[in-house]
Amino acid sequence: MRRILGLALLLAAVLVFSVGTPLAGAGNKFAYTEQITDARSLAVDIEEGGLKKFASVDYQLDATAIARYCDGGEEGTLLSGPPVALVPDSKGRTTGTVTLGLPISGHPCLPDHIEYTDVTLTNLMTGHRYSLDPISRDYR
């Protein structure tokens, strides 16, 4: 019985090691943080690896913005930002910030609540499309 248990543990360790090795070597991981600025813009700091073969990488940020204004008005707008070019470092990793701002409205004040939903960031070079978390902020 101990022999079977020992062989099972050995097999499990070999499987974990063989699966873990390629993942550790893969350099195409994607990470991001997002915030809504005081200007009511969405700013996303990104880091993506595995892009050594590109001289530069274009990213596009898209979202739905919902703004509630102090005069009681509310607007929902589909936003699509212009492509932003980032240059990979010598290890093939890009880092940078991509932003998306609200269009100018006819309201007499800035929104006191803003939320961005359906947020996606697209790497236009590889076609990878990342769904990001929705985010909101109150300014009261």
Q: Given this model, what pLDDT does residue 106 score? A: 82
Whether residue 132 is predicted with pLDDT greater than 90 in this model: the reply is: yes
Mean pLDDT along residues 18-46: 74
Name the more confident of 15 and 139: 139
Round to whole Å and give the CA distance between 88 and 85. 10
Q: Right CATH number for 27-138 from 3.30.420, 1.10.3470, 1.10.1760, 2.60.40? A: 2.60.40
What does the pLDDT average to over 55-66?
97
**Residue 113 above 90 pLDDT?**
yes
Is residue 23 over pLDDT 50? no
- pTM (two decimals): 0.77
